[in-house]
Structure 1
Amino acid sequence: MNAVPEVPANATAQEILRLGLEAAQGPVKLACSFSLEDVAIIELAQEAGLEIGVFALDTGRLNEETYEVADALTERYRIQIDWYFPKHEAVEKLEREKGLFSFRESLENRHECCHIRKVEPLGRALQGLAGWITGMRREHNVTRTDLKAIELDQLNGGILKLNPLLDWSEAQLMDFVQERRLPQNRLLKQGYRSIGCAPCTRAVQPGEDARAGRWWWENPEHKECGLHRR
C-alpha cells in the first residue's frame, strides 16, 4: 500500500501529478472519459514530460462525439488508449430482463446499470496499477466538495488516486483548453457541460451546475456512477 504524499496547498496540477507519480512507484493511468478535464490533464502531463497511461471505459452507450475526441487525442499526442468494455453476458441479461431504460425507473436500477457498464470494467482497468488519475473538480457537484489532491483509494486495493484539477474553476479550465486549442466534444457547444452515456446526459440550463445534466431525474447527492465511491 502506498503512502499518500503531503501536497502543498498551492500546488499546481503538474506538481500534484509529479508528486503522485513519484509516490506511486509504479504504473499510473488516467481514467479518461474525454472530458475537457481529461484532455487538459493529458496536455499537462505531456508538457511536463510525465509518463502516464490512458484507459477508457466504453459503456456501449457513448455519444458519437465522444469517440471523435478519442480519435483526435490519439492523433494529436500519438498515445495509446486502453479500452475496457462491460461483460456482454451481463449487458444481455440486464436488457433482456429489465429492458433498455431500466436505469430511469429507480436509483437501484441505475446503480445496477452503472455497475455493469462502468464499475466492473474499472476494476479490471485498475488491476496492476499503483495509482490512477481523475479529472474530478470540487466545483462539479456537492458529492465532490471534499476532494483531496492525492488520496488513498481503499475501495480499489489501496492504490493512489490523483485529482490534479480539484481546485480548477470551469472558467480556468475553458481558458486553458481554448488557449491550447485542445480537442473538445462538439456537444459542449450545445449546452452540455458533463458528458457520460447518451441516455443519461442532457444539456444544462442557465444557472445549473455542470453535473445537472447527468441523471437529471435524480437528486444532486446521488449523482455518482460508482466509479468514485468514497
Structure 2
Amino acid sequence: MSKKLAAEFFGTFWLVFGGCGTAVLAAGFPQLGVGFVGVALAFGLTVVTMAYAVGGISGGHFNPAISFGVAIAGRLSWAELIPYWVSQVVGGTAGAAVLYVIASGAPDFVAGKFASNGYGALSPGHYSMLAALVAETTLTAAFLIVVLGSTSKTAPSGFAPLAIGLTLTVIHLISIPVTNTSVNPARSTAAALFAQTDALGQLWLFWVAPLAGAALGALIWKSLIETKAA
C-alpha cells in the first residue's frame, strides 16, 4: 500500500508542477509564450509520462475524482480511497509549493491567480457558476469513461496512458476559458492554497463537480459500455 500511495504522491506532484508550472512560468513569457494550447499539452503530457512511470504501481490516478470513479466501478477498494485522496492532495500541494518557490524568484513576481480555478470574476472568460459546474461535471464524466475504457481488458494493451493524456489535453482546450480547467480536486486545492484571490472560497465547486462527474461517468460505463464490452 505504501508504494501505491508514494506513486500517487509523485504522480500528482508532477501533474501540478508540470501543468500549473507551464501556466505560471511559460504561458505568457515573454510575450509570446506557449499560450493555453501549451498549457493543455503540458497537463496531458504530465499524465502520459507519470502513467507510464508509476501507473503500474498505483493505477496512475493522480486525481481524487478518478479514484472515486474507479472505486464506484469496482476497480479500487473503498478502504484505499481516502489514503489515495490524501496522497494526491499532499503531492499536488508539494508540487505547487515547489513551483511557488521557483516563481517567486522573479523580481516582479505576483502570485495572482497562480493557475487556480474559478468561476465568475475568477473565470478566464468570466463564465457563470452554472457554466463552470456543468463544464466540470461533464468533462470529468467523459474523462472517467476514457480512463475506464482504455484500461479495460478489451482495450489495446499499452496505450491507456496516451488515451488518457490526450483526453486531458482536449479537456483543457475546451475548458481553460471557462474554469481554467480542474477536473481534479487535488490540482485545484494545490493552486488555490497559493493564489492571492478568492480561489479557496470557490474551491467547493472544484470538488463537488469533478466527484459528481466521476460518479456519472462510472455509472455510464457500468450500465451501458461495460455491459456491451463483456
User: TM-score band (shorter)?
Assistant: under 0.3
Which one has more relative contact order, counting CA pairs under 8 Å at least 6 apart? 2
Give the TM-score of the pair, scaled to structure 1: 0.27
Q: Which has the larger helix fraction? A: 2
Q: Which has the larger strand fraction? A: 1
